[in-house]
Amino acid sequence: MANYWFCPLYSFNVDAETVDLVEGIKIIRISNEFVEYLDKTFGHSLKTIPSRAEWIALFPHPENIHKGTNFAEDVRIEFKAEEKVINLLIDFITALRLYQKGRVVVGLLTSATLNMTLPHS
């Protein structure tokens, strides 16, 4: 199983099914199998990927490695990790907009665990 941050991409297009970037970041075309997997696995709790999005950006989310700390410290570490991903996402989307020479709209950033094989480019 792998933990990821999901971010749907709108008004984006590329001539590939999958784009592998640095540090495990991927852009994948949302297939019907992927949507079905999300629906079966997460049901209505993961409705942040509307059918209008054709692409999704996946950012690896490291597993909880801060065992033995207190709850407040765990929450602080999680917020810090989320802040890092949000900052990375801002830089990432800025680069995509430069590449596309136009507007790339992003959806809601969501964390989830996948138990499926993602496509490779």
42-86 residue pLDDT tens: 765 555 566 677 888 888 876 655 555 687 887 788 788 778 888
DSSP string, 39-57: HHHHGGGG--S-TT--EEE
Q: Which residues contact 35 (CB under 8 A, 6 or more apart)?
A: 49, 51
What is the rounded average pLDDT of the residues 100-118? 75
Q: pTM of the predicted model, to two decimals?
A: 0.70
Among the residues of 1-121, which ranges form H helices? 32-42, 71-100
Q: Which helix (H) or strand (E) holds 27?
A: strand 26-29
At residue 45, the pLDDT reads 54
Give which of 17, 51, 41 is closest to 113, Cα–Cα: 41
Instruction: Work out whether strand 55-60 and strand 26-29 pair parallel, antiparallel, or are unpaired.
Output: antiparallel
- Tell me the domain boundaries of the chain: 2-114
Angle value at C-alpha 27, between 100 and 78, nearest 5 degrees: 115
Main-chain phi, psi angles of 18, to 5 degrees: -145, 140
Q: pLDDT class for 2, splitting at 50, 70, 90?
A: confident
